[in-house]
């Protein structure tokens, strides 16, 4: 019999040694136990563990035992547990199973800069491919609905219009009004040095109608509506409601995607026009309070400098933004895996993709309209 410490001793046998455990194997004692194990020279191969004298055991203690054996090349599956109390045996079994699962996990791979860039490029290509494929499916279903108008779900469209459009009016009005206030205030600080306060009308009108209002409203709906679309469809995917629609012979795209797409495509231009009005009102308020420009003077100048084409530029952008927000949100929702974590990841990705898409599209429109002289 070989003595190791107060916590363990090794007893040789005909078919292998037995490691007898004793005392308390819990987290507070593990540092002392680990030091004793490091000094322990084990010549025999352990075939069994004896827990007859074991008083207390937790998962940390069981992990130390198995790590000690595994470090000496002992197959944990072949180690027999004898004379263990039921609660101690269950702890040993649980830790053994978890260590076996961890051993099967692939090692963590740390990618270099080139590998990260390549993987990001491949992910971007795959995302664009998936969006294009989903766009094709939606186009086919839209053509099917156009051929069979009775398949059009008008009630769902009206319901989503209320959620997407009417319920978003307060936040859109407040944000665009404050944007007009801030823009007019900052612009006024610059131009009043040159005594040309009236030009604040030009700046506020053109900026709000051409760029700020469509962009801000689209970003608000990307975070509000796009995320909502993804979360709703993702939850339906997890609860197998989408599978139930297919079982009933219904197209999930016709039932779930097209009403949302039509609703946001109609709502976003209307909200953009509301944003134009509220932003100009915010600029008008600052013009009167700080720059001594009366409301009548502001409106006269606005009518002379703000051509209708500038308003149409912003309104033309809005439906394009809406289509991309709806497609990204619905595609991510339909593509989630069947777990709650996947829904959260997809919702976050939807917001990021939608906002980035809106900004890129806005930049593209700006270049296009400048080149066309609009």
* Same domain assignment for residues 97 and 220: no
* Same domain assignment for residues 92 and 152: no
Q: What pLDDT is attached to residue 15?
A: 67
Q: Which residue has the tokens 């409601």?
A: 241
Residue 191 maps to a domain: yes
DSSP state letters, 39-57: H----SPEEEEEEEEEEEE
Q: What pLDDT is attached to residue 102?
A: 66
Neighbours of 30 (CB within 10 A): 16
Measure the CA–CA gap between 239 and 95, rounded to whole angstroms.
Answer: 33
* Same domain assignment for residues 170 and 84: no
Buried b (16+ CB within 10 A) or exposed e, 257-271: bbbbbbbbbbbbbbb
Residues listed for the chain: 374
* Same domain assignment for residues 166 and 265: yes
Measure the CA–CA gap between 315 and 331, rounded to whole angstroms.
Answer: 25
Question: Residues near 291 by Cβ (< 8 Å), separated by ≥ 6?
Answer: 188, 192, 197, 200
Q: What pLDDT is attached to residue 103?
A: 58
Strand order across the 80-82 sheet? 2-3, 8-11, 17-25, 46-57, 80-82
Q: How far is CA 66 from CA 8, 29, 36, 46, in A?
A: 13, 16, 15, 11
- CB-count exposure of residue 133 (10 Å: 0-12, 13-18, 19+): exposed
* Same domain assignment for residues 306 and 367: yes
Residue 91 maps to a domain: yes
CATH number at residue 89: 3.30.750.24
From 104, 135, 169, the end of a domain falls on 104
Residue 118 maps to a domain: no
For residue 336, give the 3-state DSSP assignment: coil
Domain count, the chain: 2
From 104, 127, 162, the end of a domain falls on 104
From 104, 137, 164, the end of a domain falls on 104
Per-residue pLDDT of the chain (374 residues; tens, 9 = 90+): 444 467 777 777 666 778 788 888 888 888 888 777 777 766 567 778 888 888 888 888 888 887 877 777 777 677 778 888 888 888 888 888 877 766 556 666 677 788 888 888 888 898 888 888 888 888 998 888 888 888 888 888 998 999 999 999 999 999 999 999 999 999 988 888 888 888 999 999 999 999 999 999 999 999 999 999 999 999 888 888 888 888 888 888 888 899 999 999 999 999 999 999 999 999 999 999 888 889 999 999 999 988 898 899 999 999 999 999 999 999 998 888 877 788 888 899 899 999 999 999 999 998 998 888 88
Segments of the chain assigned E as strands: 2-3, 8-11, 17-25, 46-57, 80-82
**Cα angle 105-106-112, degrees, rounded to a multiple of 5:** 145
* Same domain assignment for residues 302 and 216: yes
Residue 139 maps to a domain: no
Question: Residues near 79 by Cβ (< 8 Å), separated by ≥ 6?
Answer: 46, 47, 48, 49, 69
Measure the CA–CA gap between 273 and 280, rounded to whole angstroms.
Answer: 11
* Same domain assignment for residues 17 and 91: yes
For residue 60, give the 3-state DSSP assignment: helix
Residue 245 maps to a domain: yes
Buried b (16+ CB within 10 A) or exposed e, 89-128: eebbeebbeeeeeeeeeeeeeeeeeeeeeeeeeeeeeeee
**Which residues lie across from 8 on neighbouring strands?**
21
* Same domain assignment for residues 80 and 158: no
Residue 314 maps to a domain: yes
* Same domain assignment for residues 296 and 350: yes
Q: What pLDDT is attached to residue 3?
A: 46
* Same domain assignment for residues 327 and 208: yes
* Same domain assignment for residues 292 and 234: yes
Which tokens hold the place of 335? 């593509």
Residue 204 maps to a domain: yes
Range of the domain at 6: 2-104
* Same domain assignment for residues 335 and 268: yes
For residue 22, give the 3-state DSSP assignment: strand
Q: What pLDDT is attached to residue 42?
A: 63
Which tokens hold the place of 158? 């009206």
Question: Residues near 33 by Cβ (< 8 Å), separated by ≥ 6?
Answer: 5, 7, 25, 61, 64
Q: Is residue 173 within 8 Å of 274, Cβ to Cβ?
A: yes
Residue 259 maps to a domain: yes
Q: What pLDDT is attached to residue 326?
A: 92
């Amino acid at each position: 019999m070989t003595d190791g410490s107060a916590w363990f001793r090794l007893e040789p046998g005909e078919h292998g040694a037995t490691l007898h455990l004793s005392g308390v194997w819990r987290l507070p004692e593990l540092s002392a136990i680990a030091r004793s194990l490091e000094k322990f020279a084990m010549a025999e191969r352990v075939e069994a563990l004896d827990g007859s004298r074991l008083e207390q055991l937790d998962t940390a203690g069981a992990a130390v035992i198995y790590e000690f054996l595994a470090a000496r090349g002992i197959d944990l599956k072949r180690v027999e547990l004898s004379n263990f109390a039921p609660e101690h045996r269950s702890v040993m079994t649980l830790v053994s199973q978890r260590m076996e699962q961890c051993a099967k996990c692939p090692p963590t791979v740390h990618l270099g800069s080139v590998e990260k860039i390549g993987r990001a490029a491949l992910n971007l290509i795959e995302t664009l491919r998936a969006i294009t494929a989903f766009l094709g499916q939606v186009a086919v279903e839209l053509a099917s609905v156009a051929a069979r108008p009775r398949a059009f779900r008008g009630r769902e469209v009206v319901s989503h219009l209320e959620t997407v459009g009417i319920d978003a009016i307060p936040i859109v009005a407040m944000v665009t009004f404050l944007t007009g206030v801030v823009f007019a205030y900052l612009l006024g600080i610059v131009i009043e040095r040159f005594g040309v306060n009236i030009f604040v009308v030009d700046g506020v009108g053109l900026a709000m109608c051409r760029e700020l209002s469509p962009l801000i409203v689209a970003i608000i709906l990307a975070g509000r509506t796009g995320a909502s679309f993804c979360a709703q469809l993702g939850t339906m995917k997890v609860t197998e409601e989408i599978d139930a629609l297919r079982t009933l012979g219904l197209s999930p795209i016709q039932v779930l995607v097209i009403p949302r797409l039509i609703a946001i495509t109609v709502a976003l231009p209307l909200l953009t026009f509301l944003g134009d009005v509220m932003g100009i009102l915010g600029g008008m308020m600052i013009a009167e309070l700080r720059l001594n420009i009366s409301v009548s003077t502001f409106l006269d100048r606005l009518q002379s400098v703000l051509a209708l084409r500038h308003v149409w530029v912003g309104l033309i952008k809005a439906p394009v933004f809406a289509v991309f927000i709806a497609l990204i949100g619905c595609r991510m929702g339909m593509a989630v895996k069947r777990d709650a974590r996947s829904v959260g990841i997809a919702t976050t990705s939807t917001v990021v993709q939608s906002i980035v898409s809106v900004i890129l599209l806005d930049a593209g429109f700006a270049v296009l309209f400048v080149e066309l002289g609009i």
